Amino acid sequence: MLTGNYDKILEKIALASGIEKEEIERRVEAKRAKLSGLISKEGAAQIIAAELGISFDNEKLKIDELLPGMRKVNVVGKVVTLFPVREFNKNGRSGKVANMIIADETSNIKVVLWDTNHIELIEKGEVVEGTVVEIINAGMRDNELHLGSFSEFKKSEEILENVKSEIVAKEKNILNFKNLENVKTRAFIVQIFEPRFFNVCPECKKKVISEGEGFVCAEHGKVMPEKRALLNLVLDDGTETIRGVLFHESISSLGLTDLENVDSFIKQKEELLGKEMFFSGTIRKNKLFNNKEFIIDKAEEIDLDALIKELEENAN
């Protein structure tokens, strides 16, 4: 599937090299074939660019042009989500880390700040949600933008209005899923496991522990818990399988309505097995089993009429 991102990369390479776009695309496919298809079109295009002596380093890019592995990234974006600054102590090293989501008119991305001078701008209230920031000399790790002490992070005078603050999901095959990506895929449900239930704090929604006859939240003390569900399933799109995880709010999008009624759940489960749907969510690495998991935010019925129309448009 050609994405707008991939098309832009081809255009940049063609412009910088003077080679026809079709020839570059042929080289990309040849590179992918040589690597047995184990690399995305965007990744193969990056290799072709490097072979032609073309670097995207220090070039000001739009967010949807950022790719894993890029270094010396320069970008401008509006802060649409700002998370609390966290302190850490790991392997005898302590410090602070700040996370945010920035967006422009093309897409959005998670930004991670490690330098205390950068984090201080947040702590002082100089950078808040809605602030437009300029980032210079950052690096891409998976699908996140990381800033260290050699990076620059400052307020920008640019005005960004129509930014894409909603999560942008790339349509991909399961085989090409990468850690921390927001993706959408069309796949069959091949296995559904029994739901698991747990209790959370009604205030912070974090897991609570049983203590005596009641429940205790680490932050809010004794609470009257809310019951939540978690469902695991296995998806297959013909390229690979992956375990999907749906939490309480997302399970209903599958059409499962009564998880605690065993007979009802079994009936609905049988109706879902073998069904093809669209699934959207985030890829996470399961550290315990060292494999990828699909944290599913939403499952959607396939609109065949809309799908046929899209295929016809792509064919033209």
Which one of 134, 166, 198 terminates a domain?
A: 166
Give the pLDDT score at 237: 94
Residues 87 and 103 both lie in one domain? yes
How far is the C-alpha of 289 from the C-alpha of 292, rounded, in Å?
A: 9
Q: Look up the domain containing 16 and give its range.
A: 1-55
Residues 193 and 153 both lie in one domain? no
Q: For residues 88 and 97, is the Cβ–Cβ distance under 8 A?
A: yes
Residues 247 and 310 both lie in one domain? yes
Give the pLDDT score at 249: 81
Residues 311 and 174 both lie in one domain? yes
Name every residue whose Cβ is closer than 8 Å to that of residue 85 and which is 6 or more positions away in sequence: 96, 97, 98, 119, 122, 123
Which one of 166, 191, 215 terminates a domain?
A: 166
Give the pLDDT score at 316: 57
Residues 301 and 174 both lie in one domain? yes
Mean pLDDT of the chain: 88
As given in the structure block, the two tokens for residue 25 are 């695309």
Residue 233 sits in a domain of what CATH number?
Answer: 2.40.50.140
Give the pLDDT score at 2: 33
Residues 122 and 157 both lie in one domain? yes
- Count of domains forming the chain: 3
Q: For residues 79 and 131, is the Cβ–Cβ distance under 8 A?
A: yes
Residues 241 and 306 both lie in one domain? yes
**Tokens 């603050």 found at:** 165
Residues 62 and 42 both lie in one domain? no
Residues 188 and 281 both lie in one domain? yes
Residues 48 and 72 both lie in one domain? no
Q: Average pLDDT of each block of 10 consecutive residues along the chain (316 residues)?
A: 62 88 92 80 84 80 82 93 86 86 92 96 96 95 89 94 83 88 92 93 86 88 91 95 91 90 92 94 85 92 78 63
Residue range 296-312, pLDDT digits in tens:
999 999 887 776 776 66
Residues 148 and 223 both lie in one domain? no
Residue range 55-102, pLDDT digits in tens:
776 678 889 888 777 888 999 999 999 999 988 877 777 889 999 999
Which one of 36, 55, 74 terminates a domain?
A: 55
Residues 145 and 174 both lie in one domain? no
How far is the C-alpha of 254 from the C-alpha of 245, rounded, in Å?
A: 12
State pTM to two decimals.
0.62
